[in-house]
Amino acid sequence: MYVCGPTVYDLPHLGHGRFTLVFDVLRRYLLFCGLDVTYVSNITDIDDNIIAKALREGRSEVEVAEEFEARWWEAMDQLGVLRPDETPHATAFVDKMVSLVAELLGRDVAYEAEDGIYLDTSRVDGYGLLAGQPLDSLRAGARVETAVTKRTPLDFALWKAAKPDEPAWDAPFGRGRPGWHTECVVMSLDLLGDGFDLHGGGLDLKFPHHENERAQSVALGRPFARHWAHNGWVMVEGEKMSKSLGNFTSLTDLLARSDPRAYRLLVLRSHYRAPIEVTAETIADAERGLARLDAFARRLSVSSLAAVVIDDEAIGVDRDAVARFRALMDDDLQTGQALALVFDLVGQANTALDEGDSESAMTLGRTVLVIAGAMGLSLGGTTDVADDTVQRLAADRDEARAAKDFARADALRDELQALGWVVEDGPEGTALHR
């Protein structure tokens, strides 16, 4: 998967929070299904906004980018978003971007203008297919920002000619810096290869950013992403009303003022392509949902619930419920219904407990943990979910104990403890909690 990452010049906003959560849920679900996932998400560390901020504040572009990249990862860790397998930084790939632009010039699909190199979109087969709109309407939209030097309004900059006070790199076609659309096509193809499986991002990136990434790949005769996924908008109420309701100014602000799991629960409630509203009220409502889950986890005691999942074989869970969960997620990620299933199972387990049927309650409870965990949602007031590595270590420890290899079992316990987990021997093997 390649998911367009942030341009690091400011605090992450609510839209950043949504796309990272949506694709984190998809990634975790694919892993849950037993697929190998390589997740690549870039950091754009050179761009107009970074340069403008650096100039305004008398700092270097590198300082600005490093500061806000650090803030980015802080927010991602709080959200419980898994770190990408690869995080390419645009400035580390400039050589490859230069080669790509040179090749496009060589193929005569790009041209030199006064202020840089542009792609001639009229020479790209099927330009506009991804946007799914007539070229006329795309042209009308592009006209607002049309540079005088472009041949047609839809052409876009592959390379921006060097200006005084701006960082620039050498290239055979003149010093300058890469255009944003060129960054992502180079990094995705380089790290994932031609015809990689999935390209994701927010709906706002579909056109022109993703269309233009694709256009470059098509112009080079290289197969690009085989599937695309775009998540819907984040809606906020009018400025006046948002102030009176104490709404959130950034993702960092939201995370400072709410349970970090609340945004994930809010995102899961809606289909990923639908718009969502992030306000003080919708977040408070999500927190009430979390309180129900946490109360349930406390009632059953999370540590005694911990299920060990080994290659899709969860021990002591309701297999029918897990099958229902998979059917919902396989249907274009019906997370809202999957979440409703979680709450339904919680209700059933509470009823079973009320009736003194603790065995059924434990089975349902473990099922809740497995399904919620597959969507990255943790219970019991902790944001920590045992990842694949931790679950594997626990499973290995159980195997070692079964084989009476206690030296190895102890070594694995030490390893788990070093990772911050309390290791207990439950009736069904290793039980873990933070």
Q: In the complex, which residues of this chain contact Zn ion (CB under 5 A)?
A: 4, 184
CB of 241 to Zn ion, least distance (A): 33
CB of 158 to Zn ion, least distance (A): 14
Name the residue type at position 432: L
205/349 with CB nearer Zn ion: 205
101/184 with CB nearer Zn ion: 184
Distances (CA, A) of 29 to 23, 54, 204, 334, 373: 10, 40, 24, 12, 9
Residue where the block lists tokens 């015809």: 195
- Dump the DSSP string for 93-142: GHHHHHHHHHHHHHTTSEEEETTEEEE-GGGSTTTTTTTTS-HHHHHHHH
206/408 with CB nearer Zn ion: 206
Nearest-angstrom CA–CA distance, 156 and 121: 8
CB of 21 to Zn ion, least distance (A): 18
Residue where the block lists tokens 């087969």: 125
6/153 with CB nearer Zn ion: 6
If one counts every other C-beta atom within 10 angstroms of the C-beta of residue 340, the result is 13
Please check whether residue 11 is in contact with residue 250, taking contact to mean a CB–CB distance below 8 angstroms. Answer: yes
44/270 with CB nearer Zn ion: 44
CB of 95 to Zn ion, least distance (A): 19
The tokens for 186 are 């180079």
Name the residue type at position 31: L
32/156 with CB nearer Zn ion: 156
18/264 with CB nearer Zn ion: 18
Q: CA gyration radius for the chain? A: 25
Nearest-angstrom CA–CA distance, 311 and 315: 11
Name the residue type at position 410: D
CB of 184 to Zn ion, least distance (A): 3
CB of 358 to Zn ion, least distance (A): 51
CB of 1 to Zn ion, least distance (A): 13
184/268 with CB nearer Zn ion: 184
Name the residue type at position 26: L
* Residue ranges in 313-387 assigned as alpha helix (H): 319-330, 335-354, 358-374
- Count the alpha carbons within 13 Å of 173 in the hemisphere toward its beta carbon: 26
* Residue ranges in 177-318 assigned as alpha helix (H): 180-192, 211-219, 239-244, 251-257, 260-269, 280-300, 302-305
CB of 24 to Zn ion, least distance (A): 17
CB of 40 to Zn ion, least distance (A): 11
CB of 199 to Zn ion, least distance (A): 8
4/393 with CB nearer Zn ion: 4
4/377 with CB nearer Zn ion: 4
Residue where the block lists tokens 């788990």: 416
Nearest-angstrom CA–CA distance, 33 and 325: 11
